Amino acid sequence: MGAQGVRLATEMAILNANYVARRLDAHFPVLYTGTHGFIAHECIIDLRGITKDFGVTVDDVAKRLMDHGFHAPTMSFPVSGTLMIEPTESETKAELDRFCDAMVAIRAEIDQIADGTIAVEDSPLRHAPHTVADLVGDWDRVYPRSHGTPSLSSSTGYHAPVSRIDAAFGDRNLMCTCAPLEAYAEA
């Protein structure tokens, strides 16, 4: 890659992060902008106000991104209640746009909660991620089945194999499936 390649890769990562920040700043507060409104190589969007006002959490947004075919960005680091988006230098503009479009669609779902169209507990955000089994099984949600997984028609989408898990329960009730410690002893 060499010095020039490393410099170009860095410039592209910074450019990509700033592109995402510009696309999203009308929809979510962007933290740590400089005096001219630019950011470094990461775009940190602040969900704390949304959580306080409407009950939509960073977990809700992260899980909903799975329905759009994306692995969630870093959650609550370096600031609790935020998403840190770090697009790499190799991301195409089309993929950046697909991600930003997903975030804008998620913001529209938050706005439906804000205006009372749907309760947060009944929203696609709170029920995310939606599995294929969810979509083809009995549907008892207040929103249309087609809102469950927007990426279902996309060949680039990821479809979650499991619905939302109770992470706190899992953390408190760890069931290790590792081999016994003796199996790791040196011979």
* Mean pLDDT (10-residue bins), the chain, 187 residues: 91 96 98 95 97 98 94 93 95 96 98 98 96 90 89 65 84 86 78
Burial grade of 115 (CB within 10 A; 0-12, 13-18, 19 or more): exposed
Confidence (pLDDT) at 187: 56
- Residue 181, strand partner residues: none
Q: Is the pTM of this model over 0.75?
A: yes
- Among 66, 68, 69, 72, CA closest to 45: 72
Confidence (pLDDT) at 170: 83
Confidence (pLDDT) at 90: 92
Question: Where do the domains of the chain lie, and which CATH numbers do they carry?
Answer: 2-184 (3.90.1150.10)
Confidence (pLDDT) at 110: 99
E runs forming strands in 21-152: 30-31, 43-46, 74-75, 82-85
Distances (CA, A) of 41 to 19, 106, 135: 11, 23, 37
Confidence (pLDDT) at 155: 55
How do 30-31 and 74-75 pair as beta strands?
unpaired
